[in-house]
Structure 1
């Protein structure tokens, strides 16, 4: 069957119906890709370098011939793999710019009866869209609070109540501290994080409020776009207050079950900031299973860091909200009441 070239607008609806193949090299795919795509490289990493070099030195004709020379012997393997993975024979294909690699794969699959939709402009078109989307203006409300106030849990409850949220830590696979990577999957690259971020944003109503958790510019190794981070600093912030005991209990609930050796490594990463004595005390408490002690020790540092971070936010746009001893449902009601102090009855201040 003949292929159909599709625009990015057409792609959004078709992606929910058909699987996707990324025809780029395994290295390009690992760096970033359209979420949900399966990588079936037409040229692998080393072959891509050979063809790219030939293109620069001798032009597209020589590069195309070389590409076929390299990939031709694998045509049968590519067909067998694709037929096994996608027996329905309907597929979306893209490469970097919608050029030679996706064209070759499209032609090859069409020969065995695939219905092929090839993304015009390739991954570059998609990436341009996601890059711009995460740098647009958004109507944010920032949920702040010291470590252990349960911000992520409150964010999830807000979503359950019908509010729009973006879980930055969930997208980054990191909880935003020295301990934040423990028990988490590998972090995405910065570019892939932005793709995931944009995928969530595009599903939201840009005219309505979006809740985000207060974060530093870096979440582990991922980095927030400067434009979005600046919006967070200037947005209204609701600063959650909880008792020290509640905070310690919540942190213990999440971290006491984690391997002691990984907790110790996280403490050692903070040694320069904690000092030798507090570092030793914290490690000893972890070894002994005295979680309240090492957590309270860590909170001395993290509370100071939070106060420093809070000073970066715009003056006059912070509300302190004491949720000490309050159940989750009542906490959400109080958060929504606090939201109206910024936005009135409407979530969009321009209404």
Structure 2
């Protein structure tokens, strides 16, 4: 056998069924990586720094010699880890195929010496190894290009407390495609959106996850020869979701796509919000209010906090919901020039099952 270099499109196709091994340093992987990839670092962070310094200040040959000193003692362990990953993936596969269970996909930053070294070792041991031409850098080019492609999307609008996330989940179960930006960002969008959520990914990692989600809609590895992407639903979001920014070319398409505004009475949404956040830690809620105090205003901030201190959750969120309604309404009608008019969809209550069907009926 021999190591087979392949382009990104083929690499992503194979990654659906076979493990991807990211041999960059732990810090590089932790910052951002191809979604689903396993970390199998050739060098740790300090070793990478030493090798890189030798490459710049001494010579390529000296850097390789130092790298070999680090690599040698790790060889057996790296092979064993790769075996474990293949075994784990084989057990989790819905339809295991023994004839293809020996395939590994390997990449580093540029498709250079790190991936070449690890791929050589794994090939020598007997795995069928493919390396990514251009490495992770080529994947990042693909990510950026993905957001400039034209996508067919339908935007679900609605004031805070309309249960939009639950509606998207129901719509997806009914068979329509959905891109859940808040799920990818680990944040619900408002000042309270971080409560009960994991730490947000880096901006780069969010973009990687979004690009793969979009790519999956076309069923191929991206590029000019991709299949026509499926239309999908996305929630009407602001440009910023917590600390994450929605990529500008993609966000511009969101602001010009057809928008279906689910219009639910204030009282119904208030009860839904109180139920959702009512059990949250009071100190966390107060901290969230303080983060928006400049826009909320001094008096409203003070009143909302007093309500929280006195355990009047409904009173506090009544103030906050009016604030968010005002800002959302302003954004709703400041969409891209020439975009389709917003379609108003009246609903009596926050009922994801009924409201998802109401939206789909409006489409037909």
Asked if Structure 1 and Structure 2 have the same fold, meaning a TM-score greater than 0.5 normalized by the shorter chain, the answer is yes
C-alpha displacement at 1:125, in angstroms?
2.1
- In the other structure, the counterpart of 1:107 is 120
Q: Following the alignment from structure 2 to structure 1, what is the Cα–Cα distance between the partners of residues 124 and 151?
A: 46
Answer whether contact 2:260 2:344 (CA < 8 A) is retained.
yes
Q: 1:300: how far off?
A: 2.1
Q: Compute the displacement of 1:257 (Å).
A: 2.4
- In the alignment, which residue of structure 1 is the partner of 2:90? none
The secondary structure found in structure 1 opposite 2:344 is: strand
1:143 — aligned with what? Answer: 156
**Whole-angstrom distance in 2 between the partners of 1:163 and 1:85:** 33
Is 2:264 aligned against 1:264?
no
Aligned CA distance change for structure 1 residues 275 and 135 (closer, same or farther; 3 Å): same
Instruction: Give the match for residue 65 of structure 1.
Output: 65
Q: Give 5+ residue unaligned stretches, structure 2.
A: 88-100, 219-227
Secondary structure at 1:204 match in 2: helix
Q: Residues 97-137 of structure 1, C-alpha deviation per residue, up to 9 Å, x if partnerless?
A: 22111111122223433332222222122222222112211
Q: Is the 8 A contact 1:135 1:225 kept in 2?
A: no
CA RMSD of aligned residues (A): 2.2
1:168–1:326 Cα change, 3 Å: closer
Q: Is the 8 A contact 1:217 1:229 kept in 2?
A: yes
Query: Which blocks of at least 5 consecutive residues in structure 1 are unaligned?
Result: 341-351
Q: CA deviation at 1:207?
A: 5.1
2:250 to 218, 228, 249: 228
Match of 1:276 in 2: 298
- Count matched residues: 340
Q: Is the 8 A contact 1:235 1:317 kept in 2?
A: no
Counterparts of 1:111-122 in structure 2 under 5 Å?
111-122=124-135
Task: Work out which of the residue numbers 167, 172, 185 in structure 1 matches 2:185.
Answer: 172
TM-score normalised per structure 1: 0.89
Normalised to the residue count of structure 2, the TM-score between the two structures is 0.86
For residues 234 and 311 of structure 1, what CA distance do their matches in structure 2 show? 11
Q: CA deviation at 1:283?
A: 2.4
Deviates more, 1:286-295 or 1:236-245: 286-295
Query: Quick one: distance in 2 between partners of 1:327 and 1:152?
Result: 12
- C-alpha distance in 2 between matches for 1:327 and 1:41: 48
Q: Does 1:210 align with 2:232?
A: yes
Evaluate the alpha carbon distance shift between residue 101 and residue 267 of structure 1 in structure 2; reply closer, same or farther with a 3 A threshold. Answer: same
> Residue 203 of structure 1: SS of its match in structure 2?
helix
Counterpart for residue 125 of structure 1: 138
State the secondary structure of the residue aligned to 1:35. Answer: coil
User: Which of 286, 306, 321 in structure 1 is aligned with 2:308?
Assistant: 286
**Any conservation in 2 of the 1:140–1:232 contact (CA below 8 Å)?**
yes
Change (3 A) 1:26 1:312: same
1:300 is aligned to: 322
